[in-house]
Amino acid sequence: MKKYKIFDKEKFNWAMDSALDALYREDKKAFMNRIWDMSVVSNISQTDIIYMFAQSAYSTSLISSFIYGGHK
């Protein structure tokens, strides 16, 4: 993934935490609002941000399945 310069790191981190909370609650509207906030305070497109979430979910799944016995 490309490296990006984030202009307001504090707001970006707040939006990321809020997006993760919204994902946990399965609140699609709040999640997409936070994705938009993240794209505003950085120069990252919304598509790249969603890809980042998908990529981290995939790698976390691989790690947890390996650790918890899914590696047969």
Mean pLDDT of 13-24: 91
Whether 51 is covered by a domain: the verdict is yes
Residue 4 lies in a domain: no
The residue assigned the tokens 């390996």 is: 66
Nearest-angstrom CA–CA distance, 35 and 15 = 7
**Within a domain: residue 45?**
yes
Query: Domain for residue 72, yes or no?
Result: no
**Domain presence at residue 36:** yes
Position 54 in a domain = yes
DSSP one-letter code for 71? -
In the predicted model, what is the mean pLDDT of the chain? Answer: 83
Number of domains in the chain: 1
Does residue 2 sit within a domain? no
- Cβ neighbors of 18 (< 8 A, separation 6 or more) are 30, 34, 37
Domain extent, residue 30, equals 9-67
Task: Check whether 64 has a pLDDT greater than 90.
Answer: no
Residue 23 has pLDDT above 80, yes or no: yes
Mean pLDDT calculated for residue range 29-56: 91
